[in-house]
Amino acid sequence: MTNSFVITATRSMKGYASRVVDYLARFPSFSAFAERINGIDILGVDRFADGEIEAVVKSSVRGKDVVIFTSCARNEAGIGVEEAKIELYHTIDAVKRSQAGKIIVFEPFVSCSRSDRTARRSSVGLWVHLKTLSSLGTRHFVTYQLHSDKSKSMLDPTICAIDDIPALTLLQKYLCNHYIRNMETLEKTVRANWAFCSVDAGGEQIARQFANAFGAPLVVAHKQRDYTKTNTVESVNILSAEPIKGKILWIVDDMIDTAGSVERLALALEPLEPAEVNIMAVHAVFSAPAMDKLSALSRRGLLNRVVVTDTVCCPAQAAAAGGPSISLPGLEVVPSAELSAKILRTIETNDPMGKLLQEFNVEAYLKSASLFSH
């Protein structure tokens, strides 16, 4: 049974939400709901002369589940972090006052996810964000690849449920579709010539998932940080059971922010003479220095390609929406809207989420007839 629901978005994610609706309409059980679920334009924002804003719901959502897509990171509308958050909070309040049945916030990337450490004299940004969402009336929060598992404990499940969906599967499928394609390549090329590398010891678990899935060696980078400063790496040590020379390396992480860690790692790998170095990350945060650093590595031949998902709007996407664009050679963006549609279909039909949480089986996927339909 399908719940009565509507999909909408704050200004930061209207284009993304529209793509999700398009995918939902392709599912047979949802095709009849195509008009009813497309509420992308039901939200508006009024601005007062002093700069204050007010969110407005333009049509009735009484009794319906309302899914709000939002981004408080770099976004297609070019809205800053603070304004995007305030708009989201106002939107939830407006929807709650419109007597929605349940409010579901779908935030593919939580921009404050790394502010999860409790310290005596500093705020915890993720706790503030999640506490605000639940206090305003959010009853279900969905995101991709939170920075740490402990983050999920910041929400009281009796008030607001949380689904942290692994997005590494998107990257693993992309490798299969575009670079492997068949079992012969997996066995003779990938397992013999590839290796997966962590950015740091904390990211070893993610890199190990790729190494285990593809049957390739694991390389661990151990970085020393200066914790008196943010985004600072002092040194990098490389740990590998096999020689790296001549290997195709895939550095895997949950996000690329300033690219400081990646830069130091690429420079540390250079003397070891890998055949090529590539980066895969779920969230393309790309803070100001990142594009310059990655472009410089590319020009020096130390970086071949950068593969990310669209949980954060990438420069090429921003350009298509009228925003600024910065060229990065080898940038490949993996779409996530279809997976988001599957998640919503699962939620709204009250089906188990287990299938979407399973580890990716590379061999089963390569042998499946649906390889090139994803």
Give tens-digit pLDDT for 79-116.
999 999 999 999 999 999 999 999 999 999 999 998 98
Which pLDDT belongs to residue 31? 63
Structural domain count of the chain: 2
* Residue 100 domain-assigned (yes or no): yes
Which pLDDT belongs to residue 372? 47
Do 265 and 187 sit in the same domain of this protein? yes
The CATH number of the domain where 117 resides is what?
Answer: 3.40.50.2020
Distance CA 34, CA 332 (A): 30
Mean confidence (pLDDT) of the chain: 89
Tokens of residue 284, six digits: 């393309």
- Alpha helices (runs of H) in 98-232, residue ranges in sequence order: 125-136, 168-175, 183-185, 191-193, 204-214
Residue 247, pLDDT above cutoff 50: yes
Tokens of residue 238, six digits: 């490389």
Do 143 and 265 sit in the same domain of this protein? no
Do 227 and 238 sit in the same domain of this protein? yes
Percent of the chain with pLDDT over 70: 89
pLDDT-derived band at 59, boundaries 50, 70, 90: very high
Nearest to 88 by CA among 341, 96, 99: 96
Position with higher pLDDT, 87 vs 33:
87
- Alpha carbon of 196 to those of 128, 220, 240, 257: distances in Å? 35, 8, 10, 20
Residues with Cβ within 8 Å of 287's Cβ and at least 6 positions away in sequence, in order, are 231, 257, 258
Tell me the CA end-to-end span of the chain in Å, nearest whole number: 26
Report the 10 Å Cβ neighbour count for 353: 11
Residue 318, pLDDT above cutoff 90: no
Residue 35, pLDDT above cutoff 80: no
Residues with Cβ within 8 Å of 202's Cβ and at least 6 positions away in sequence, in order, are none
What stretches of 41-108 adopt beta strand conformation (E)?
43-47, 53-57, 65-69, 102-106
Do 154 and 201 sit in the same domain of this protein? no
Helix pair 168-175, 204-214: axis angle to 10 deg: 40
Q: Which pairing describes strands 233-240 and 218-225: parallel, antiparallel, or unpaired? A: antiparallel
* Residue 373 domain-assigned (yes or no): no
Which pLDDT belongs to residue 156? 92
Which pLDDT belongs to residue 222? 82
Position with higher pLDDT, 25 vs 208:
208
For residue 103, count CB atoms less than 10 angstroms from its CB and return exposed for 0-12, middle for 13-18, buried for 19 or more. Answer: buried
Confirm if 285 and 249 have CB atoms less than 8 A apart.
Answer: no
Which pLDDT belongs to residue 225? 57
Do 98 and 215 sit in the same domain of this protein? no
Q: Mean of the pLDDT values across residues 178-190?
A: 96
* Residue 117 domain-assigned (yes or no): yes
* Residue 368 domain-assigned (yes or no): no
Tokens of residue 328, six digits: 């990065």
Max distance between CA atoms of the chain, in angstroms, equals 65
* Residue 268 domain-assigned (yes or no): yes
Do 219 and 152 sit in the same domain of this protein? no
Distance CA 197, CA 217 (A): 9
Do 133 and 242 sit in the same domain of this protein? no
Which pLDDT belongs to residue 1? 47
Confirm if 313 and 286 have CB atoms less than 8 A apart.
Answer: no
Do 160 and 174 sit in the same domain of this protein? no
Do 103 and 53 sit in the same domain of this protein? yes
pLDDT-derived band at 300, boundaries 50, 70, 90: very high
The identity of residue 69, as a single letter, is F
Which pLDDT belongs to residue 118? 82
* Residue 374 domain-assigned (yes or no): no
Do 146 and 186 sit in the same domain of this protein? no
Residue 374, pLDDT above cutoff 50: no
- Alpha helices (runs of H) in 139-245, residue ranges in sequence order: 168-175, 183-185, 191-193, 204-214
* Residue 20 domain-assigned (yes or no): yes
Which pLDDT belongs to residue 150? 83
Which pLDDT belongs to residue 224? 66
* Residue 263 domain-assigned (yes or no): yes
Distance CA 109, CA 309 (A): 10
Do 128 and 192 sit in the same domain of this protein? no
What letter would DSSP give residue 122?
B
| pTM for this prediction | 0.91
Q: Mean of the pLDDT values across residues 284-298?
A: 92
Q: Mean of the pLDDT values across residues 239-268?
A: 93
Domain assignment of residue 203, given as a range: 168-335
List the beta bridge partners of residue 349: none
Do 132 and 49 sit in the same domain of this protein? yes
Per residue in 324-351, pLDDT tens? 455 688 999 999 999 999 999 999 888 8
pLDDT-derived band at 323, boundaries 50, 70, 90: very low
pLDDT-derived band at 228, boundaries 50, 70, 90: low
